[in-house]
């Protein structure tokens, strides 16, 4: 039949997509929203509320429980798991899970009990720092100093030492709770943890997501002894090995065969990070097409011809799951900032779109807004700050339409400036994520970048990427032919630059650059 299952363990939900490669269609999509379906974890947005805005942790047991819940939902929806020929998936990047035992050393999951009660006693750390955490500046400094400076970290790992990356987070854990660190036998990324649950053993870490740890030596695809030593003692023994993304990491555990009816021996392909997975799901694993993903965070990413690095230190180089490398720039204040501005300006989401398209014009009469409601990584800003600037007439929250355009244009200009180091101006941009449904936002991206904007018909590109990666690795179907079927663009959701619009951004681009430079970017 050719059914492949892709999973996406993201900040707010765990999602599944099943594709049928023989019929060329998505069979079904299903999702568990952590806040709504698992309120007992007290994480309405997928992480534990904390008074300190820099601390962002999640309960990893929530992800475990979500897996049983999701598979149960899929079975209730009539899914015949015995027809699934391969599984892969993705996890939110950088987050880490700490275990007292190697998962390969624990008894097989018992199908008579649920997964969460079997994983609970294995945790050596009750919570997992996630990508939104920005509490490790001190540790980043220490790691960079230990290896001889920022430039050395970039050369080795493809990024500066970054607060949310796994290495600095591990160092912070080691410093804050050395006993618990010493009692930790294995540290997983969210991606390798989810794959481990499925195979009932320790799954390796793929090069795509592994590159977001500040621990992997990109050129070699192996952990860097310098970075390991700079991060925490004995770390090499606690990490699963790094592997190419298309590695078959094991077979589905008996637990899932007995409980949900998977076929014994169903192969599981290494899980990767949500962005690398999305690169596949968006059909963008060849250079020339950039992706703008507008979810909780906004990310801009693209396959790279050669592994360049960002001289300003904000962008990253990760592994491209199809081989080679990809670049990525992440903006924490994505949808959250757009939604906050819409709310403060008293605009519904439809009114927000209307304001951009019908009530304002490209260039917004020189008005811009830099909106940082939560700590930002690009540019690095640990204390939230919202700044309106531009023309003298733009000093208050009383101009809702101008505000809507101001934030969207500033975000697009910031994406453009912060991706200039890639050395290639994208002429084709594919957009994904909730905000990409907004016609106004698509038009601003087209105008600012002077590029054709296309959205895919499929919604969750990260889950789709998982299913496609399973089909490629297990079913031996080339990505190019899979893209033709599954990464088709939706003509109703495209945008082209309006005549003369791109040229109208010269002044705003200059203003924004000045502000970014003033912020140290
Ligand atoms: C990328 C990043 C985020 C998360 C979101 O570096 O931190 O995009 O992957 O899940």
Task: Express each pLDDT in 164-204 by its tens digit.
Answer: 999 999 999 999 999 999 999 999 999 999 999 999 999 99
**Cα 93 to middle of ligand 1, angstroms:** 5
How much is the pLDDT for 262?
A: 98
* pLDDT range class, residue 516, cuts 50, 70, 90: confident
Angle at 110 between CA 106 and CA 116, to 5 degrees: 80
Candidate from 11-25, 189-203, 229-243, 393-407 with smallest mean pLDDT: 393-407
Our answer on whether the CB atom of 94 is closer than 6 Å to any ligand 1 atom is yes
Total residues found in the chain within this entry: 521
Task: Give the Å distance between the CA of 446 and the centre of ligand 1.
Answer: 24
Q: Decide whether any atom of ligand 1 lies within 6 Å of the 297 Cβ.
A: yes
Q: What is the pLDDT of residue 393?
A: 59
Average of per-residue pLDDT values in the chain: 95
Ligand 1 touching residue 13 (CB < 6 A): no
The pLDDT of residue 397 is above 80: no
Least confident of 175-179, 436-440, 514-518: 514-518
pLDDT computed for residue 395 by the predictor: 61
Q: What is the pLDDT of residue 296?
A: 80
Average pLDDT over residues 413-433: 92
> Does position 305 have pLDDT exceeding 90, yes or no?
no
411 lines ligand 1 (CB under 6 A): no
CA of 279 to the centre of ligand 1 (A): 13
Positive or negative, the CA dihedral 396, 402, 403, 408 is negative
Mutate to test the pocket of ligand 1, among 167, 214, 275 (most ligand atoms within 8 A of CB): 275
The model's pLDDT over 250-277, given as tens digits with 9 standing for 90+, comes to 999 999 999 999 999 999 999 999 999 9
**Beta-strand pair 216-217/385-389:** unpaired
Cα(131) to centroid(ligand 1), Å: 6
Q: Which residue's CA lies nearest to atom 7 of ligand 1?
A: 131
The CA distances from residue 286 to 63, 204, 291, in Å, are 32, 25, 12
pLDDT over threshold 70, residue 391: no
> Rounded to 5 degrees, what are φ and ψ at 383?
-105, 120
Give pLDDT tens digits for 496-513. Answer: 999 999 999 998 899 899
For residue 164, the ligand 1 atom closest to its alpha carbon is: 7
pLDDT at 392 over 70: no
CA 318 to centroid of ligand 1, rounded, Å = 12
Q: pLDDT of 4-57, one tens digit each? A: 999 999 999 999 999 999 999 999 999 999 999 999 999 999 999 999 989 999
Return the exposure string of 367-399: e unless at least 16 CB atoms fall within 10 Å of the residue's CB, then b: bbbbbbbbbbbbbbbeeeebebbbeeebeeeeb
Give the residue among 177, 171, 187, 144 at the shortest CA–CA distance from 233.
171
pLDDT tens digits for range 440-486: 999 999 999 999 999 988 889 999 999 999 999 999 999 999 999 99
pTM of the complete model beyond 0.75: yes
- Distance from the alpha carbon of residue 259 to the mean position of ligand 1, in angstroms: 32
Return the number of other C-beta atoms located less than 10 Å from residue 225's C-beta.
10
Q: Is the minimum distance from the CB of 293 to ligand 1 under 6 angstroms?
A: no
Atom 6, ligand 1: residue with shortest CA distance: 330
Any ligand 1 atom below 6 A from CB of 330? yes
State which of 8, 131, 466 you would mutate to test the pocket of ligand 1, scoring each by most atoms of that ligand within 8 A of its C-beta. 131
Across residues 305-332, what is the average pLDDT? 94
pLDDT of 163 reads 96
């Amino acid at each position: 039949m050719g059914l492949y299952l892709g999973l996406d363990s993201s900040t707010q939900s765990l999602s599944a997509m099943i594709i049928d490669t023989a019929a060329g269609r998505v069979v079904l999509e299903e999702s568990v929203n952590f806040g709504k379906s698992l309120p007992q974890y007290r994480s309405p947005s997928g992480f534990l509320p904390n008074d300190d805005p820099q601390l962002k942790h999640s309960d990893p047991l929530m992800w475990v429980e979500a897996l049983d819940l999701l598979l149960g939902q899929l079975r209730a929806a009539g899914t015949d798991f015995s027809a699934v020929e391969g599984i892969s998936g993705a996890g939110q990047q950088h987050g880490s899970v700490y275990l007292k035992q190697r998962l390969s050393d624990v008894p097989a999951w018992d199908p008579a009990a649920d997964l969460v009660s079997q994983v609970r006693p294995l945790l050596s750390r009750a919570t997992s720092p996630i990508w939104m955490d920005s509490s490790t500046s001190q540790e980043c400094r220490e790691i960079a100093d230990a290896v001889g400076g920022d430039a050395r970290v970039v050369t080795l790992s493809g990024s500066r030492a970054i607060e949310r990356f796994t290495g600095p987070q591990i160092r912070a854990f080691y410093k804050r709770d050395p006993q618990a660190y010493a009692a930790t036998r294995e540290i997983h990324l969210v991606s390798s943890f989810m794959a481990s649950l499925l195979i009932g053993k320790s799954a390796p870490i793929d090069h795509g997501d592994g590159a977001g740890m500040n621990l992997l030596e990109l050129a070699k695809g192996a952990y860097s002894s310098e970075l390991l030593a700079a991060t925490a003692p004995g770390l090499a023994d606690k990490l699963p090995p790094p592997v190419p993304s298309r590695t078959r990491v094991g077979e589905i555990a008996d637990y899932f065969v007995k409980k949900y009816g998977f076929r014994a021996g169903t192969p599981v392909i290494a899980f990767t990070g949500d962005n690398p997975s999305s690169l596949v799901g968006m059909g963008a694993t060849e250079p020339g097409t950039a992706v703008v993903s507008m979810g909780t965070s906004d990310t801009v990413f693209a396959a790279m011809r050669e592994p360049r690095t960002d001289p300003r230190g904000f962008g990253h180089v990760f592994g491209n799951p199809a081989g080679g490398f990809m670049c990525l720039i992440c903006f924490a204040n994505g949808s959250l900032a757009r939604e906050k501005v819409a709310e403060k300006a008293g605009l519904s989401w439809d009114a927000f779109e209307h304001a951009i398209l019908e009530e304002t014009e490209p260039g917004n009469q020189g008005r811009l807004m830099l909106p940082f409601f939560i700590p930002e990584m690009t540019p690095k800003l640990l204390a939230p700050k919202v700044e309106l600037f531009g023309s003298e007439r733009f000093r208050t929250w009383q101009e809702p339409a101008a505000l809507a355009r101001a934030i969207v244009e500033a975000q697009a200009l910031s994406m453009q400036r912060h991706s200039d180091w890639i050395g290639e101006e994208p002429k084709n941009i594919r957009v994904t994520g909730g905000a990409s449904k907004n016609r106004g936002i698509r038009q601003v991206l087209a105008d600012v970048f002077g590029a054709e904007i296309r959205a895919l018909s499929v919604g969750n590109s990260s889950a789709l990427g998982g299913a496609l990666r399973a089909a490629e690795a297990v079913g031996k179907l080339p990505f190019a032919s899979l893209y033709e079927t599954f990464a088709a663009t939706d003509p109703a959701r495209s945008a082209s630059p309006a005549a003369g619009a791109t040229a109208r951004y010269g002044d705003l681009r200059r203003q924004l650059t000045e502000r970014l430079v003033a912020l140290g970017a």
